[in-house]
Chain A
Amino acid sequence: MPYLGSEDAVKELKKALCNPHVQANRLRYRNVIQRVIRMPGVQEYIQQPILNGLRDKASYVRRVAVLGCAKMHNLHGDSEVDGALVNELYSLLRDQDPIVVVNCLRSLEEILKQEGGVVINKPIAHHLLNRMSKLDQWGQAEVLNFLLRYQPRSEEELFDILNLLDSFLKSSSPSVVMGAAKLFLILAKKFPHVQTDVLMQVKGPLLAACSSESRELCFAALCHVRQILHSLPGHFSSHYKKFFCSYSEPHYIKLQKVEVLCELVNDENVQQVLEELRGYCTDVSADFAQAAIFAIGGIARTYTDQCVQILTELLELRQEHITTVVVQTFRDLVWLCPQCTEAVCQALPGCEENIQDSEGKQALIWLLGVHGERIPNAPYVLEDFVENVKSETFPAVKMELLTALLRLFLSRPAECQDMLGRLLHYCIEEEKDMAVRDRGLFYYRLLLAGIDEVKRILCSPKSDPSLGLLEDQAERPVNSWALDFNTLVPVYGKARWATISKCQGAERRGLELPNTASLAASGPLIPEEDKERVQELSDSGALMLVPNLQLTAEYFEKTWLSLQVAHQQVVPWQGAVHPDTLQMALQVVHIQTIAVSRAGAQPWKAYLSAQDDTGCLFLTELLLEPENLEMQISVKQTEARTETLSSFISVLETVIGTIGDIKP
């Protein structure tokens, strides 16, 4: 390799650097400066040649020298920023050569990394905008990215800039189009109609990229299409045919396309999309077939009847890998769309012969347990499972079997009593898995408490509001992902990106953040004086929150969806949330926690409710996106009264502020 070479190489390089006319031969100059990376012992020699190079007549030399400044800075480690050099680089932004200009930006960005990178003020921004047309596509894409940090002063200036940028949306290079689109989305964050308009304009290039010959480009475009669909569900609906898969495509593209199809379905295309998806269900690849079945399950939340019919037909194939996924889909569907229970129950008999894996068995057993009264042969199917429980390898299946059989026993006692006894006996006496045995013992003791008690506990109104449902229904505003547009985030997927940036962040910050686990365990959660303060606040105001409010999750969800947001605000927040801490603190002021994401989930959410003495309900959503360092509070109110609303919010703010304070 040319760098980190032998001593001879270093010596030779030093010699070349000492030559005062090194930049006279541009190729030689380039060779010398390019090699100066990771080379120990040449720092003191490179400064002069680079400074000379900055003022050279040949643009080629200037290009190399400008990037050389960044290399020099990085070589010196974390040395001080050379103010004169920075000024020189800023002035070189006016250079005639477009590549020098772009290199200046890159170099400044690296040198000023500690201070937040190169500053784009109004004159620089306008200068760059005017030079845009002289740059090649790479330069344009990069400058568009730098312009993201510029804040126009007035609306007028904003629209002037947008007008200038308009032509780049029509560029033949996808990277320029996407860069311009992102800049549009960010600049016009207060003008939703402009954003929608831009997304309309990008539709053509994105669709072209989706059917591009380059698989990789196609994939990146599909990921972005999905991102857009989250906010504008109807955006690509008329182009649904573009997302049909062809058998020669690689797997990862097919899976993305299925996801897209699933999301753009509407009344007009549902028939065609379902027909296409049904074709995929019998694909040779089991993975793809299963993905298609899950997709049909997703569509079934809206178009239940058609989908259930297709899924039922698939059961007739009696293929193991298909049956198991169909049954799992049915389980989720019955939960979300109870109206299809009848049809599912009719389809189920006979499935048990074609299910071998744990997930599928669990789903089938759950369905038989919960809706056993409508499936005539349910006890006999479960009996088979009980007979074979000894050879069953998955503990989860046994647990599911216990619960299901107990449920079925409640509705059809005569047929189940005997085998329930056998199963409990087996689980308590012979089972080696602790969890299963404990579950068996638990049910046994529960039964001892009397059948009414069992009914009350096992068949009480279904809770578990499945946060996912609420999340899915809320369309995400464009602004929530505009910053991620045209980055790797959509390509990885939000969830994977979160884990990636998390472990990167942990590496980088390492010592800065104290160990959160120890924090959770230490001491009282709210200092005493704070508790009093909170108490006082809630007592003194006009607001009296009713203690022990019991609101079911279903009722909360229904009310939440029917109301408008009355108040929204953000409070600063750092680090993760400990749901228990928060829940306890909120209880003190009589705010009930309906549902909370688990600790560490991203984004983290919580749904809260409270009621005052006049019967007015306050429903609250807390949303924490870790990258923003702030918590977003949205409050909905059943009766519009501003004075109680504001006192409720101040209570909430105090609590959140207190919890936030005891964090470092």
Chain B
Amino acid sequence: MISQFFILSSKGDPLIYKDFRGDSGGRDVAELFYRKLTGLPGEESPVVMHHDDRHFVHIRHSGLYLVATTSENISPFSLLELLSRLATLLGDYCGSLGEGTISRNVALVYELLDEVLDYGYVQTTSTEMLRNFIQTEAVVSKPFSLFDLSSVGLFGAETQQSKVAPSSAASRPVLSSRSDQSQKNEVFLDVVERLSVLIASNGSLLKVDVQGEIRLKSFLPSGSEMRIGLTEEFCVGKSELRGYGPGIRVDEVSFHSSVQLDEFESHRILRLQPPQGELTVMRYQLSDDLPSPLPFRLFPSVQWDRGSGRLQVYLKLRCDLPPKSQALNIRLHLPLPRGVVSLSQELSSPEQKAELWDGALRWDLPRVQGGSQLSGLFQMEVPGLPGPPGQGHSTSAPPLGLGPASLSFELPRHTCSGLQVRFLRLAFRHCSNANPHKWVRHLSHSDAYVIRI
């Protein structure tokens, strides 16, 4: 049971405020929440906070705070899930979730909240059922153009740098343009993988973890059936092996409840009748053995002269992707010992950049082609770092406080597990006009890619 729900901008301005039970102190609560949040000591978690006999539970989404308050000892999982479902729903109806879209669509948001929650209890969150009751049309900032495809990104992928901007085609409200039928027939299917890797200082692989998702955003009329064909070699669990090659194996898979799996065993086909809006069709995880080589290898060498306090770090970065693929927005983050003062650098190509930032070295590479190799030589002065005297002066043992290096990057058109969508077929009977547009996209990005030095 929720007492209140509100949305705050990143600066703490209340955008939406709804009181479901009429038993609470009014809008001040939103302010109180923001004050508590900003005044929280570093080690405490802001996820649940408590004031008087009210619990605040919130999520951060696209720079907004979605907050629910409750006075009951409620299940945190339900509440967090509800809040993220609300975020998706608002995104579906307003086009995308953000300060601008929310404040332009206040009436629509309140209308949605009225339908989703009654007296603080969830009634329904299915886009399908809600469609029947929502009258207001979304206000969008600019007309959408399908030709604006130069920057086709993914609609929901939040990478570290958020450089994969939502493409304008996908960030369109599900309900808008009722009149314009030609725009409606679009389906976006994204395979997004997050990669977390830990490599030991001797180069051996300590941990590989891939979290994958197949996300679908459909603008087709609801109830239209679609079939998604996955790579045939795809197998789940350790025992099973298909085909002749190494196979594309994942450890665990879970499907959305609307997915029918009758053709999955035999042909790796997912059948579903998706509602309009966004939907996670399938989630999967893969740990420890990856079918393809890791995208990046780092070969560091460190020269550390204790006497003069000079630290020289030579980094060689090799990209092991297939030659036709490339990685984008690569950033290497290397924490340095305290007190580093100057940095001189020799980089292998002019488009790279390196700087000292917050006690760490930051090396930015806009793009790296598969199979290529890049290097950077960095020299730093570390005056204040004393070592135990009496040992050899120049040594290759790194000083404490250096490393581990972490990489962040995006790999468009590449999945680390090797999973691909073979086809996306629509059984499209009742609507005779133009063929629907189908967009299938693949992307991997780094969650944590850490290399110890």
Contacts and interface: CB of A to CB of B under 8 A. Distances in A.
A67 interface: yes
Interface in A303-336: 313-314, 316-319
B200 to A, nearest CB: 8
A603 B133 CA distance: 51
A145 to B, nearest CB: 7
Contacts of B452: 279
B78 A255 contact: no
Contact of B59 (A142, A216, A500, A504): A216
A214 B75 contact: no
Contact of A67 (B118, B198, B287): B118
Contacts of B418: none
A478 interface: no
Nearest to A170: B254
Interface stretch (B123-131, B221-229, B315-323): B123-131
Contact of B119 (A37, A178, A313): A37
B335 A487 contact: no
Interface string B156-167: 001010000000
B319 to A, nearest CB: 21
B125 A284 contact: no
A212 B77 CA distance: 13
B297 interface: no
B432 to A, nearest CB: 33
B76 A487 contact: yes
Contact of B48 (A67, A212, A284, A491): A491
B252 A284 contact: no
B406 A99 contact: no
Nearest to B400: A317
Q: Which of B55, B75, B335 has the most CB of A within 10 A?
A: B75
A247 B448 contact: yes
A204 to B, nearest CB: 6
B75 A487 contact: yes
A142 B78 CA distance: 9
Interface string B28-68: 00000000000000111111101001010111100000000
Interface in B396-414: 400-401, 403-404, 406, 408
Interface in A155-192: 170-175, 178-179
Given A37-B21, A99-B124, A172-B283, A486 B335 contact: no
Given A37-B22, A244-B207, A282 B158 contact: no
Contacts of B194: 213
Nearest to A284: B359
A30 B116 CA distance: 12
Interface in B168-215: 194, 196, 198, 206-207, 209, 211
Contacts of A31: 114
Interface stretch (B5-13, B80-88, B270-278, B344-352): B80-88
B133 A27 contact: yes
Interface residues of A, number: 80
A491 B387 contact: no
A67 B45 contact: no
Contacts of B360: 284
A486 B125 contact: no
A149 interface: no
Nearest to B288: A241
Contact of A282 (B209, B335, B406): B335
B441 interface: no
A585 B344 CA distance: 76
Contacts of A102: 121
A109 B55 CA distance: 20
B417 to A, nearest CB: 15
B38 to A, nearest CB: 14
A241 B400 contact: no
B285 interface: yes
A279 B55 CA distance: 35
Q: Which of B22, B60, B333, B335 has the most CB of A within 10 A?
A: B22
A226 B257 CA distance: 29
B233 interface: no
A38 B285 CA distance: 48
Interface residues of B, number: 78
A499 to B, nearest CB: 9
B351 to A, nearest CB: 24
B77 A217 contact: yes
A488 B114 contact: no
A248 interface: yes
Contacts of B400: 282, 313-314, 316-317
Q: Which of B122, B125, B198, B388 has the most CB of A within 10 A?
A: B122
Contact of B401 (A145, A246, A291, A317): A317
A208 B47 contact: no
B448 A486 contact: no
B256 interface: yes
A613 to B, nearest CB: 51
A629 B207 CA distance: 47
A504 B125 contact: no
A382 B48 CA distance: 46
A175 B42 contact: no
Interface string A34-74: 10011000000000000000000000000110010011000
A585 to B, nearest CB: 36
Given A251-B42, A316-B400, A71 B119 contact: yes
Nearest to B213: A213
A314 B400 CA distance: 8
B76 A488 contact: yes
Interface string A527-548: 0000000000000000000000
Nearest to B403: A279
A146 to B, nearest CB: 12
Contacts of A247: 333, 335, 406, 448, 450
Nearest to B360: A284
Nearest to A99: B123
Contacts of A313: 400
Contacts of A491: 45, 47-48, 76
A219 B422 CA distance: 36
Interface string B291-311: 000000000000000000000
A34 to B, nearest CB: 6
A141 interface: yes
Contacts of B43: 251-252, 255, 287, 291
A544 B75 CA distance: 52
A247 to B, nearest CB: 5
A631 B118 CA distance: 42
A216 B80 contact: yes
A136 B55 contact: no
A365 interface: no
A253 B448 CA distance: 14
Contacts of B206: 241, 272
A489 interface: yes
B386 interface: yes
Contacts of B45: 219, 252-253, 256, 491
Contacts of A204: 252
Contacts of B404: 279
Q: Which of A173, A246, A249 has the most CB of B within 10 A?
A: A246
Given A220-B80, A241-B209, A67 B42 contact: no
Contacts of A71: 119
B75 A178 contact: yes
Given A172-B254, A247-B450, 17 more contacts: A37-B22, A37-B119, A38-B23, A172-B283, A173-B81, A179-B78, A214-B59, A220-B80, A248-B448, A282-B337, A313-B400, A316-B387, A486-B76, A487-B73, A488-B48, A488-B74, A491-B48
27 contacts: A63-B123, A64-B118, A67-B118, A67-B121, A106-B1, A137-B257, A138-B122, A175-B75, A175-B77, A241-B206, A244-B207, A244-B448, A244-B450, A247-B335, A247-B448, A252-B47, A279-B404, A314-B400, A316-B388, A316-B400, A486-B76, A487-B76, A488-B55, A488-B76, A491-B47, A491-B76, A492-B48
Q: 6 nearest interchain CB pairs?
A: A246-B448, A38-B22, A252-B45, A37-B22, A175-B78, A241-B207
